[in-house]
């Protein structure tokens, strides 16, 4: 049953909300309540993603978010009693232009400097030896990080939720937030279809719907939902179970082993913001065509499933992890722009520090504030797939 009051209300039961509720409850912040409108947790973007985890980012802050998060994900079973199914199969970026090569070589230097020494720049012949099944026409270089790979978003979300409950947090599903009230210039309560909870602290973890929660508090949060889709194939016995997660940077085509076959995705650069889960069949064919070009053996496979989900996109493809300065008590952990699952452990931890200690301590994320958009201080992440 919905409580009348709470010290912190977390809105959204995806990986971000579950992680945030866990780290807050673990810090003993008081009563923590997580509200999710669906019947189960992880039914939003968390339940519709490709499960990729990687160190290979182009900004220091994202590399650091990955370093913290992958450490948690790779030790998840010891920490939460549930395996995150972490599989370090590696990520291989295929580069086809001199500009990409220059950028990725600079990225490798940055990754080494920040503390990820395992990333390597590869020549075309080294790539050919690694992925003999891939058509490498036009590929002039690549980067590989063998500790990048895959993990299971559902297990991570359930593990955090289990941990949060164990530390005393309350999780209420089928509870839709419909309003945020303020009093004296700060948050005072959250209104839902199940009643009202008085609270001085709200964390907006509503992913692609974060802007609609912001609107309830009179805020204009620049996060838009953008459809992304992928498909899986049935059995493809030629593909080894540990085939490297391969991405053609220029088109964003990617594929990795999934079950006994492959998961294949690509971003539609012309996709307009919107929250439909309908499959765009025309784009599916485009994706299929590109996938067949890079991986000709796909002609032997059957499409087993198609999935559309929503990226939660900000103008610089970086999240907001901060309190809104103009509205004390309103915090945002959203806008991960298509790579949020892998950063959910760090995000929950940092949000708990911001709320309990007044600022993030584990990683400097001061640049991921809400005010940067109005102030024109964008920090573009380049490695967006």
Ligand X SMILES: Cc1cc2nc3c(=O)[nH]c(=O)nc-3n(C[C@H](O)[C@H](O)[C@H](O)COP(=O)(O)OP(=O)(O)OC[C@H]3O[C@@H](n4cnc5c(N)ncnc54)[C@H](O)[C@@H]3O)c2cc1C
Tell me the C-alpha distance between 286 and 204, whole Å.
Answer: 36
Beta strands in 318-378 (DSSP E): 320-323, 330-334
3-state secondary structure of 376: coil
User: Total residues at the site for ligand X (CB under 6 A)?
Assistant: 41
Lateral strand order in the sheet of 141-145: 120-122, 141-145, 91-95, 245-248, 253-258, 261-266, 224-233, 303-313
Output the smallest distance, CB 161 to ligand X, in A: 12
Within 252-311, the residues that bind ligand X by CB under 6 A are: 309-311
Among 9, 24, 33, 50, binds ligand X (CB under 6 A): 50
Output the smallest distance, CB 137 to ligand X, in A: 26
Among 10, 16, 122, 239, binds ligand X (CB under 6 A): 16
Print the binding letters for residues 125-164 with ligand X: x by CB under 6 A, - otherwise: ----------------------------------------
Tell me whether residue 38 or residue 105 sits nearer to ligand X (CB atom). 38
Print the binding letters for residues 163-182 with ligand X: x by CB under 6 A, - otherwise: -------------xx-----
Output the smallest distance, CB 299 to ligand X, in A: 24
Structural contact between residues 317 and 277, judged by C-beta atoms closer than 8 angstroms: no
Output the smallest distance, CB 269 to ligand X, in A: 15
State the DSSP H helix or E strand holding residue 73, giving kind and residue range, or none if neither.
helix 60-74
Tell me whether residue 161 or residue 177 sits nearer to ligand X (CB atom). 177
Tell me whether residue 267 or residue 323 sits nearer to ligand X (CB atom). 267
Output the smallest distance, CB 329 to ligand X, in A: 18
If binding is defined by CB under 6 A, does position 334 make contact with ligand X? yes
End-to-end, the C-alpha distance of the chain in Å comes to 41
Among 3, 5, 27, 38, binds ligand X (CB under 6 A): 38
Break the chain down into helix, strand, coil percent, rounded to 5: 35, 25, 40
Tell me whether residue 47 or residue 124 sits nearer to ligand X (CB atom). 47
Cα distances from 369 to residues 203, 215, 343, in angstroms, run 14, 18, 16
Within 229-248, the residues that bind ligand X by CB under 6 A are: 230
Q: Give residue 131's Cα distance to chain centre.
A: 27
Structural contact between residues 58 and 382, judged by C-beta atoms closer than 8 angstroms: yes
Q: Encoding tokens for residue 367?
A: 């640049």
Output the smallest distance, CB 383 to ligand X, in A: 12
Output the smallest distance, CB 360 to ligand X, in A: 17
Q: Encoding tokens for residue 229?
A: 């889709």
Structural contact between residues 355 and 8, judged by C-beta atoms closer than 8 angstroms: yes
Output the smallest distance, CB 17 to ligand X, in A: 5
Q: Which residues bind ligand X (CB under 6 A)?
A: 11-17, 35-38, 43-46, 48-52, 176-177, 205-209, 213, 228, 230, 309-312, 334, 336, 338-342
């Amino acid at each position: 049953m919905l409580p009348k009051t709470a010290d912190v209300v977390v809105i959204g039961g995806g990986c971000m909300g579950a992680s945030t509720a866990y780290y807050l409850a673990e810090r003993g912040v008081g009563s923590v309540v997580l509200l999710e409108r669906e019947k189960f947790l992880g039914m939003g973007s968390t339940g519709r993603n490709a499960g990729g985890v990687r160190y290979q980012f182009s900004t220091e802050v994202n590399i650091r978010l990955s370093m913290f998060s992958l450490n948690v994900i790779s030790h998840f079973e010891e920490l939460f009693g549930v395996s995150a199914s972490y599989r370090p199969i590696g990520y291989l970026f295929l580069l086809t232009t001199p500009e990409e090569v220059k950028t990725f070589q600079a990225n490798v230097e940055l990754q080494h400097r920040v503390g990820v020494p395992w990333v390597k720049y590869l020549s075309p012949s080294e790539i050919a030896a690694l992925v003999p099944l891939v058509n490498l026409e036009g590929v002039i270089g690549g980067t590989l990080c063998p500790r990048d790979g895959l993990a299971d978003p559902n297990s991570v979300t359930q593990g955090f939720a289990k941990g949060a409950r164990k530390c005393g947090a309350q999780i209420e599903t089928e509870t839709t937030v419909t309003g945020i009230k303020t009093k004296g210039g700060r948050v005072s309560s959250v209104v839902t279809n199940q009643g009202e909870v008085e609270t001085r602290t709200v964390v907006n973890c509503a992913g692609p719907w974060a802007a609609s929660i912001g609107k309830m508090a009179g805020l204009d949060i620049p996060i838009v939902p953008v459809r992304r889709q992928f498909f899986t194939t049935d059995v493809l016995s030629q593909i080894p179970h540990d085939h490297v997660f391969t991405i053609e940077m220029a088109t964003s085509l990617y594929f990795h082993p999934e079950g006994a076959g492959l998961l294949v995705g690509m971003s539609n650069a012309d996709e307009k913001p919107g929250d439909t889960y309908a499959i765009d069949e025309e784009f599916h064919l485009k994706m299929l065509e590109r996938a067949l070009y890079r991986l000709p053996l796909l002609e032997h496979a059957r499409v087993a499933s198609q999935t559309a989900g929503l990226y939660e996109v900000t103008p610089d493809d970086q999240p907001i992890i901060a309190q809104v300065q103009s509205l004390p008590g309103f915090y945002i952990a959203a806008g991960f722009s298509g790579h949020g699952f892998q950063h959910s452990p760090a995000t929950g931890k940092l949000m708990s520090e911001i709320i309990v200690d007044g600022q993030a301590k584990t990683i400097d994320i001061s640049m991921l504030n809400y005010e940067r958009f109005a102030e024109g201080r964008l920090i573009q992440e380049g490695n967006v797939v």
